[in-house]
Structure 1
């Protein structure tokens, strides 16, 4: 999945720079623009994943992870009336990165980083330590 995203990003950027894979960029400004756009797009490659495609490809696993995250309600949004699908964008970017060989600490780091990505700062996400129990539950679920 990651390789497909990288390829599509490269094609998109080459097109936006008005070149293709056979053309060498000799214009330093065009090359600098390409490098900048590529770097920016890679930061957000996960954000542009299609939610329905991710849900479809992961099937019941997406629903199971959603249930775990909703039970923990890490930001407290469900408690104040947010819809049950509130955390789906975060679930989308978490589930595509999970690997059954990850340690509990790696899961913890991943979950926290994704919540930071979506909610932008610790004043909203809360401290990393508050994601510990969620990480334990997701790690256990992954091992099933």
Structure 2
């Protein structure tokens, strides 16, 4: 369950990084690494995007982005559900490209 404080942080982050937030939400929804895309729940990965974006400032490479995304999915779900870090290569490539466009 997401606390109201977390929801407010995500709302502020979405306001500040609107285009990036929406792009990453869409990318994660389409890639669906956890298998929760039921076609109508397009906001399903917004909590994860809300914790990924602040960490992208630390990323120096696509590999860093892959690690960040995997770590966040492990936090939000669990290690078993998140799966291996290697499974996040395709997503990381797209997120890295969006981040480079944004910054």
**TM-score of the superposed pair, with normalisation by structure 2:** 0.82
More helix by share: 2
Deviation at 1:99, TM superposition (A): 2.3
For CA contacts below 8 A with separation 6 or more, give which structure has more relative contact order.
Answer: 2
Partner of 1:117: 75
* C-alpha distance in 2 between matches for 1:82 and 1:110: 27
Mapping 1:56-67, distance limit 5 Å: 56-67=15-26
Consecutive unaligned residues of structure 1, counting only runs of 5 or more, are: 1-46
Aligned partner of residue 105 in structure 1, secondary structure: helix
* Secondary structure of the structure 1 residue equivalent to 2:57: coil
> For 1:54, which of 13, 18, 22 is the aligned residue?
13
Verify the 8 A CA contact 1:68 1:137 in the aligned structure 2. Answer: yes
The count of corresponding residues between Structure 1 and Structure 2 is 96
Match of residue 54 from structure 2: 96
Unaligned runs of at least 5 residues, structure 2: none
TM-score w.r.t. the length of structure 1 is 0.60
Write the distance in 2 (CA, Å) between the matches of 1:76 and 1:140: 23
Larger radius of gyration: 1
